[in-house]
Chains A and B, each alone.
Chain A
Amino acid sequence: MTAPAILELERGPRTPEEVDAFFAANSFPIVSGSSITFVWRGAADAVHLKHWVFGLQSSQQLARMEGTDVWHLTLQIPPASRVEYKLEVVRDGRGEWIQDPLNGNLARDPFGANSVAHGTGYDIPSWIHHDPSSAPGRYDEVHFDSKTYGRRSFGLYLPARFQRARRYPLLVVHDGHDYLRYASLRSVLDNLMGRLEVADTIVVLTSSPNRLGEYADDERHARFLTEDLIPFVERVFPLDSQPQGRCLMGASFGAVAALSAACRYPGFYGRLLLQSGSFAFTDIGSRNHRGPLFDPVVAFMNRFRDDPSAISERIFVSCGMYESLIYENRSLVPMLLATGMDVRYVEARDGHNWENWRDRLREGLSWLMPGPILHVYD
């Protein structure tokens, strides 16, 4: 359904003054009930909406309002959706992808930034922002020599209330530095621990120089984590060295790396947080449509799916409904449940992106590593 504001402008008069007044009076995109209207103004041969909502046509043309330089497109988007997009402006046969100049909401990722449309009912969580009442944890970069990969570094987060005399659970975050940059991980940790929702936890943030190789069920990566990195951290810091106190987390290929490491060291990691895992598999044959990078993932997932076992105790799985991976993630959950592991699965109306992963951290971390909120009665 076309937005009332667009209909009103269409009724005319479509003078430059009326168009100016339309832009001054609205914020963009125009969100009305379950519809979102994307608008662009300028001279062009064509304008397209480019988005990453799996299930919708990924490129859709905006219509020019006759007699104006206003382009618009209305999509029906379910409530609480979050949609990342760009606009393609075509001039002289050449298309240029741009952020929506009328929309200040941007989501950053390693490839740049996208514009973001928030559907009705989506609110940016309060706990992702810096909160002066949450004491900040301490963050350092640590270098160490590993047997597997030689010299590596990792980010180390110590909770604000850190004390040597106490023992802490450990959270290892794949692509941890990207979680810091694009998913506000530091503020999230400060706030969730400050509010007692997540246990005071020592957090190790790893990054790989070759993530698509190392994370794709590479035996060396699992060995690096389990026999090099974690023993090193355990030697230096007071950790609760039990499976219940070890959590592996990752998104996309990082989730594959976490599941793969847990499979190679069953019982060692008692908690897994798997976000939008690239859990590609085949039901017959080994060819997959995602390309050769996924071949080792498919081989791993096919093995796991043939004989799933309780490799961990508690697993939180999340995925965006607008991701192509929703099918793989949905179908994995009953298999995990059937092993007897405690599994929680959450879907969101979002895509394969960092802010989706950020928004699920409260629910995932507080369930896997609950803080004392249930025990504290002031």
Chain B
Amino acid sequence: MRTPEKKPLIRSGTVVLLGPQQTTPDVGIVLAELGISGPVALVRAGYQERESDDAALITALGVKTINLRLHARAAEVFAGDPEFARAYQERQNRLRHIQSFYRVRLDKTDDGARTIAARHIEPELLAQEDQVSVDQFRQLDLDHIRRCRALRQAFAESWPIRERPLIARHRAELAAVLSTVEALVIAGGHVAALLNRLKLFELLELAAGMPVIAWSAGAMVLTDRILLFHDYPPYGSDIAQVLDAGFELAPGIVVLPDPRRRIRMEDREGIQRFARRMAPGTCVAMEHGARVKFEGGVLVEASAMRLTATGLVEQGWTGPATQTFPPTQAAYP
């Protein structure tokens, strides 16, 4: 498979990422601080069929809000353009297979890492082997993102969305709405559903340069790597996995929403290995009230937690991103 060219970055202005908004939303305060008095455009495609249940959120935003209804628009496209829908579904099936195979490889790599880590050998060699394990995870992550990109690019070349009349019509409508708003607000929900709808309509290209405020799944899709994670799944244990590349409006960080519910914060070894696997990206755990702000793709301020390569969780991290590695790693060539 040929390696796809990376698309040029979307031109970005102010991007503010927030922690979860379920309990006491603070997004309205953030809008006010940014001087945004509305109207704003809202994406709630992560909530799929419940996309339009937006009354409570609009109240919290406190400004005039236009729900872009990306999920409903996508449903209209699939119903009205069955040929495209079939091809799209095939691509999605393929992406799911790739994800599942990548996941199998992660598990086997994890098994190998544990087996080696249990050996009673000299600490220096063990540390080197540990680094090999981390590198293998990193390579798997990288290969997975490349394969996802390649598949999406091949699909885009075979099925140029701008040539699909129905999509083109929706994009024109979306562009018209976006020309009347001050900012784009992206809520959380199902991260893959959200990512796919944003990509289907190339919404972030249409909103280029506009302030974007996003949280949870919405924040995840704006980074360069979307990480799926849960240390307490109902089936016992799981390993974090990359879903896909994001839109890179908030580069260099890995967003981990709702960490107290999803991350084993006391597991120093697990956090250390995860932070090293994600390096040089900064692992930012975002509870309610957390904020990370980018200007033109550069991180300018933060108020969140950072998972460090020493295994500690740095409370009150203010950015910018720097990583400190344990000294044993330096010994690995």
Complex: A376 Cα to B228 Cα, angstroms:
9
Indicate if the CB atoms of B234 and A363 lie closer than 8 Å: yes
Question: Among the listed A363, A366, A370, A376, which residue makes an inter-chain contact with B190, where contact means beta carbons less than 8 Å apart?
Answer: A376
With A163-B49, A344-B235, A373-B234 as given contacts, are A378 and B20 in contact (CB-CB < 8 Å)?
A: yes
With A163-B49, A377-B258 as given contacts, are A372 and B233 in contact (CB-CB < 8 Å)?
A: no
* A244 contacts across to B, CB distance below 8 A: 100
Indicate if the CB atoms of A376 and B191 lie closer than 8 Å: yes
Give the interface SS of chain B, mostly helix, strand, loop or mixed: mixed
* B230 contacts across to A, CB distance below 8 A: 373-374
With A161-B49, A342-B104 as given contacts, are A197 and B228 in contact (CB-CB < 8 Å)?
A: no
With A161-B49, A363-B234 as given contacts, are A377 and B216 in contact (CB-CB < 8 Å)?
A: yes
* B188 contacts across to A, CB distance below 8 A: 376-378
A304 at the interface (CB under 8 A from B): no
Complex: A244 Cα to B94 Cα, angstroms:
13
**Chain A interfacial residues counted at CB < 8 A:** 22
Question: Among the listed A161, A165, A367, A378, which residue makes an inter-chain contact with B235, where contact means beta carbons less than 8 Å apart?
Answer: A367
Residue on A nearest B78 in the bound complex, by CB? A165
* Closest beta carbon of chain A to B112's beta carbon, Å: 16
* B216 contacts across to A, CB distance below 8 A: 377-378
B174 at the interface (CB under 8 A from A): no
A192 at the interface (CB under 8 A from B): yes
B175 at the interface (CB under 8 A from A): no
* B217 contacts across to A, CB distance below 8 A: 376-378
| Segment 147-190 of B: residues with Cβ below 8 Å from A | 188-190
A14 at the interface (CB under 8 A from B): no
**Chain B interfacial residues counted at CB < 8 A:** 30
Indicate if the CB atoms of A366 and B233 lie closer than 8 Å: yes
Most buried by B among A366, A373, A375: A375
* B191 contacts across to A, CB distance below 8 A: 375-377
Complex: A367 Cα to B103 Cα, angstroms:
13
B22 at the interface (CB under 8 A from A): yes
Indicate if the CB atoms of B235 and A375 lie closer than 8 Å: no
B126 at the interface (CB under 8 A from A): no
Indicate if the CB atoms of A165 and B22 lie closer than 8 Å: no
| Segment 196-243 of B: residues with Cβ below 8 Å from A | 216-217, 220, 228-230, 233-236, 238, 243
B192 at the interface (CB under 8 A from A): yes
Complex: A373 Cα to B235 Cα, angstroms:
11
* Closest beta carbon of chain B to A99's beta carbon, Å: 33
Complex: A362 Cα to B233 Cα, angstroms:
10
* B125 contacts across to A, CB distance below 8 A: none
Indicate if the CB atoms of B233 and A373 lie closer than 8 Å: yes
Bits for B68-95, please: 1 = Cβ < 8 Å to A, else 0. Answer: 0000000100010000000000000100
22 contacts between A and B (CB under 8 A): A163-B49, A197-B233, A197-B234, A366-B233, A367-B236, A373-B234, A374-B229, A374-B238, A375-B190, A375-B191, A375-B228, A375-B243, A376-B46, A376-B189, A376-B191, A377-B20, A377-B188, A377-B189, A377-B220, A378-B189, A378-B216, A378-B258
Closest 8 CB pairs of A and B: A367-B235, A366-B234, A377-B216, A377-B217, A197-B234, A377-B257, A366-B235, A378-B188
**New A-B contacts (10) at CB < 8 Å, excluding given A374-B233, A376-B188:** A367-B236, A374-B230, A375-B193, A376-B46, A376-B189, A377-B258, A378-B20, A378-B21, A378-B217, A378-B258
